[in-house]
Amino acid sequence: MLNQSAALDLMFQALADPGRRMMVERLSRGPASVSELAKPMAMSLPAVVQHLQVLEASGLVSTQKVGRVRTCQIEPAALQLAEQWINERRTLWERRLDRLGDFLAETAKPEDTP
Amino acid sequence: MLNQSAALDLMFQALADPGRRMMVERLSRGPASVSELAKPMAMSLPAVVQHLQVLEASGLVSTQKVGRVRTCQIEPAALQLAEQWINERRTLWERRLDRLGDFLAETAKPEDTP
C-alpha cells in the first residue's frame, strides 16, 4: 500500500499525458478490453499497453484477464482522491477570500454609514 | 494561451511532485514571498525557485515582483480546471453505475413480485 503522497505523485503523473487521459475518458463510459481501448488511439498497441501499465500502477485503472481478454476499468475511489486533494486546496483559498471580504465589509461600515 | 489539453498536461505534471504540492498547500492559505515559501521546505532556494517556475508555467501559481520581493499566489481558476476534469470523468462513471443499478432493479422486479 502506497502512502497518500506517493499515490498522488503517481496519479497526477498518470493524468499528465493526453493519451492516458483519453484512456481514462473512454473507461469512464464503461469497462473496455485493451484492444477496444487501443482502437481510437493514434498509437501502437505496445504503446497503449505501456500507458495502461502507468495507469494501473497509479491505481486509477484496474485490469482483469479472463481467458485471452484483458478488461480494463476505472477506479473511481482513486480519481476521487486526486480530485479531493485539489478541491481542498481550492476551497481553503476561497474561504480565505470570503473571510477577507467579510473583514473589509466590516471595517468599511463606519465610514459608509454616518 | 495554451489549449486545454496542453494546460492539463502542465498542471497535472506540476501537481505530480510532493514539494510542489507542499508549495500549493502553503499558498492556498494565502500569498507568500519566495523566501517564506522556501522556509519550511527541506531544499535549497534555487530548487524552490525551479519548482516555482514549473508551477508558474502550469498556471497554478502566479508571481509578482514589487521592489526586491517576489510574491506568489495561487490561481484558483487553474486548480478548478484540473479538478473539473477529474470530477467529470468520475461522475460519468457514477451515473453509468446508477443506470446499471436501475436497469437491474427493473429487470429483477417481475421475478421478485409474483
Pick the closest to residue A70 from A56, A85, A89 (CA basis): A56
Question: Hey, are the CB atoms on B79 and A86 less than 8 Å from each other?
Answer: yes
Q: Using alpha carbons, list the distances in angstroms from residue A35 to A52, A75, A87, B105.
A: 12, 19, 34, 31
Is residue A87 exposed (0-12), middle (13-18) or buried (19+ Cβ within 10 Å)?
A: middle
Report the Cα B70 to chain-centroid distance in Å.
23
Chain A 36-55, residues with CB within 8 Å of chain B CB atoms: none
> In this model, does residue A111 exceed pLDDT 70?
no
State whether residue A29 sits within 8 Å of chain B by CB. Answer: yes
E-only strand ranges, B1-114 = 32-33, 61-66, 69-74
**pTM to 2 decimals?**
0.86
> Could you tell me which of A100, A26, A24 has the C-alpha nearest to residue B29?
A100
For A18-32, B38-52, B93-107, which range has the lowest pLDDT when averaged over its residues?
A: B93-107
8 Å CB contact of A89 and B74: yes
> Which residue in B has a C-alpha nearest to residue A25's C-alpha?
B89
pLDDT at B94 over 90: no
In this prediction the ipTM stands at: 0.85
Cβ pair A90:B83 closer than 8 A: yes
State how far Cα B5 lies from the chain centre: 14
Handedness of CA A31, A32, A33, A37 (dihedral sign): negative
Q: Give pLDDT, residue B110.
A: 61
pLDDT at A113: 52
Q: Inter-chain contact B8–A24, Cβ cutoff 8 Å?
A: no
Provide the pLDDT for residue B25. 95
Contacts of A74 in chain B (CB under 8 A): 89, 93
B98 in A contact zone (CB under 8 Å): no
Dist CA B91 CA B88 (whole Å): 5
State pLDDT tens for residues B47-66.
999 999 999 999 999 999 99
Q: Is B103 in the A-facing interface, judged by CB distances under 8 Å?
A: no
Contact: B92, A29; criterion CB under 8 Å? yes
Cell of B9: 498536461
- The CA distance from A46 to the nearest CA of chain B, in Å, is 22
Q: Note whether A89 contacts B12, CB cutoff 8 Å.
A: no
